[in-house]
Amino acid sequence: MKIAVIGAGNMGGALVKGWAKAGMAADITASAHTQQTLDRLASACPGIAVTLDNRKAVEGADVVLLAVKPWLIEQVIAEIAPELAGKLVVSVAAGIRNDRIDVYAMPNIAAEFGESMTFVEEAEQADRVASLFERVGQCKVVPQRLMNAGMMMAGCGIAYVMRFLRAMTEGGVEMGFYPDDAKQIAMQTMQGAVTLLHETGLHPEAAIDKVTTPGGITIKGLNELDHAAFNSAVIRCLKAGLQ
């Protein structure tokens, strides 16, 4: 299946790199606004085709993936409209609807490393689109009402997880670790926690019980998080982007 990625920036570029790593380089044509972006992408992904001409990018494609900034979507669709007949048009632009878009998707930039959490909105060709995103991570097909929630948890969620890792790293530095060591400790601890949940299927709260000795020090730290309304802050953060 030939894919044209229109707008190979942070998100489009991550998808191109992820698909290229999954052995799909020869099927991808990417476009951008500047040659510099295309040169960088082409050297990172041998075998892909690149062009500054969106209409040329779309020629011969089966799937056209729109990954420009939301305010450019309408202009780009108008530009490539003559070439779109019979093609499946997918958009990852947040919050923009257009009659010519067949399927809405919301990936995240971990697609570059095969670790995206992507949401695809229920539609006639959603399964076909989901199979593409499954090449770069996990993918869920959901009703429209859950797309924004998915975007907040997984698209924006990367930033929220980074904030937690930053806080843990800074705490480590305050307690005496060098920054690089503190970052490595925070990352490995998070990875360990995620693996534990994967392997055991436990609810996070049940996993917490395993590391919390009655009267011990873990519960003291957990209660400090509660005093600072950590749970509530995270839930409010996720809901802040819902209209």
DSSP label at 175?
Answer: T
Q: What are phi and psi of 138, to 5 degrees?
A: -95, 155
Q: In angstroms, give the least distance from the CB of 42 to ligand NAP.
A: 13
Is 72 one of the binding residues for ligand NAP (CB under 6 A)? Answer: yes
Of 30 and 88, the one with the shorter C-beta distance to ligand NAP is 30
Residues 138-197 that bind ligand NAP (CB under 6 A): 155
Instruction: Confirm if 126 and 120 have CB atoms less than 8 A apart.
Output: yes
Question: x/- site string to ligand NAP, residues 5 to 44, per CB under 6 A?
Answer: -xxxxxxx------------------xxxx--x-------
Is 76 one of the binding residues for ligand NAP (CB under 6 A)? Answer: yes
Alpha carbons within 13 A on the beta-carbon side of 150: 24
Of 45 and 67, the one with the shorter C-beta distance to ligand NAP is 67
Question: x/- site string to ligand NAP, residues 97 to 136, per CB under 6 A?
Answer: ---------xxxx---------------------------
Instruction: Confirm if 41 and 8 have CB atoms less than 8 A apart.
Output: yes
Applying CB under 6 A, the site for ligand NAP has a residue count of 27
- For ligand NAP, which residue has the nearest CB? 9
Sequential DSSP letters for 179-228 = HHHHHHHHHHHHHHHHHHHHHH---HHHHHHHH--TTSHHHHHHHHHHHT
Residue 166, both tokens: 């930053």
| Window contacting ligand NAP (CB under 6 A); options: 4-12, 20-28, 121-129, 136-144 | 4-12
Name residues whose C-beta falls within 8 Å of residue 116's C-beta, 6 or more positions apart in sequence: 14, 18, 107, 108, 109, 110, 133, 136, 137, 138, 139, 154
What residues line the site for ligand NAP (CB under 6 A)? 6-12, 31-34, 37, 54, 67-70, 72, 76, 92-94, 106-109, 155
